[in-house]
Amino acid sequence: MGRWFRIAAAAAVIHIAAAAMHIMCGSSFAQTAFPSRPVHILVPYPAGGGVDVLTRTLGDVVSKQWGQSVVVENRPGAGGVIASQAVATAPPDGYTLIMVASGHATNPLLYSRIPYDTFKDFTPVSLLASSPNILLVRADSPFKTLAEMISAAKAKPGSLSFAHAGNGTSTHLSGELLKNLAKIDLAAIPYKGGAPAINDLLGGQIPMSFNNGPESVGQLQAGTLRALAVTTASRAPFLPDVPSVSETVPGYDTGVWWGLLGPAGMPSDVLAKLSQDFVAALNTDAVKERLAKLGAQPIGSTPQQFDAKIRDDYEKWGPIIKAAGMKAE
């Protein structure tokens, strides 16, 4: 009787210990489920710009959902290369991310050397939003349509020029693509950002400029500038009366996009959660309203679709960048 009692008591102790271990493991899992600490998102542009505003708006939404802070860090410089290098070398645990713009795909074509591999050193999370660039002229410009401008450019090759926000930027590429497909000769004049380009356009120092939506909308609403066309394949919802370039130049389609990346080698469950949660945030009223004010449209892709977009842009722009002899400033 004593022997069986000792065996039963020992079994009970083992059962209690196993149950305690199960509870402890469950508690540990709950504590370490992603995210269990603040997530940092690097923005490779100054505070206050369109990318920064989008990132902070999305960060506010997902931080409430997670019950964890989303810390946005602005690290501008070298067309996004500085911030991208920091993320490429960060631990692949999902706690360090970067919000990149479309220049991420073209940087290896513009810089002679960059300290990371654009395709191997990152994990695409989601392509989040896009916006057209806009071909602008002054309100008193003789050009009322894109077709009129193209005719003038063909009549006097090299006589017209366009402003853009800097060598290799999406606005520069927009102009080069137009030159390539419309077979016209336009001089590309680089500026240190879109705002200085608009200032010279307003002052009459340059006849036209490619600019992004957020920096153009105010002047268009004020009536000081006129939009000849938007650069996306279809018309922009925030400028429904402005034709797309493709309505005059078939096959033309470009703009600027923004998406989220992490370091290479992120766990599949963490990647899936990040992608799903940020895509869900795009559908909230706060984010929709902010995007509309920026002249941007939500996308929300899978990681695989975003990876394909980056690769497609690299292939698309390679020949155009080479033909134009473009190099980053």
Residue 93: exposed, middle, or buried by beta-carbon count in 10 A (0-12, 13-18, 19+)? middle
For residues 300, 70, 79, 93, the Cα torsion angle rounded to the nearest 10 degrees is -80
The pLDDT score that the predictor gives to residue 76 is 85
The pLDDT score that the predictor gives to residue 145 is 98
- Residues 313, 22: Cα–Cα separation, whole Å: 49
Residue ranges of the chain that CATH labels 3.40.190.10: 133-247
Q: State in words which class domain 39-131+255-324 has.
A: alpha beta
Please report the sign of the dihedral spanned by the C-alpha atoms of residue 244, residue 250, residue 255, residue 259.
positive
Neighbours of 29 (CB within 10 A): 9
- Residues 115, 108: Cα–Cα separation, whole Å: 10
127 DSSP β-pair partners: 259
The pLDDT score that the predictor gives to residue 273 is 97
Output the CA angle 52-55-59, nearest 5 degrees. Answer: 140
Instruction: List the one residue out of 194, 224, 221, 225 whose CA is nearest residue 210.
Output: 194
Three-state DSSP class for 165? coil
The pLDDT score that the predictor gives to residue 329 is 59
Task: Please determine, looking at this structure, whether the domain spanning 133-247 carries the CATH number 1.10.10.10.
Answer: no
Residue ranges of the chain that CATH labels 3.40.190.150: 39-131+255-324
- pLDDT in single tens digits along all 329 residues of the chain: 444 445 444 444 444 444 444 444 443 333 479 999 999 999 988 787 778 888 999 999 999 999 999 999 999 888 789 999 999 999 999 999 999 989 899 999 999 899 999 999 999 999 999 989 999 999 999 999 999 999 999 999 999 999 998 888 899 999 999 999 999 999 999 988 888 999 999 999 999 999 988 788 889 999 999 999 999 999 998 899 999 999 999 999 999 899 999 999 999 999 999 999 999 999 999 899 888 887 888 999 999 999 999 999 999 999 999 988 888 75
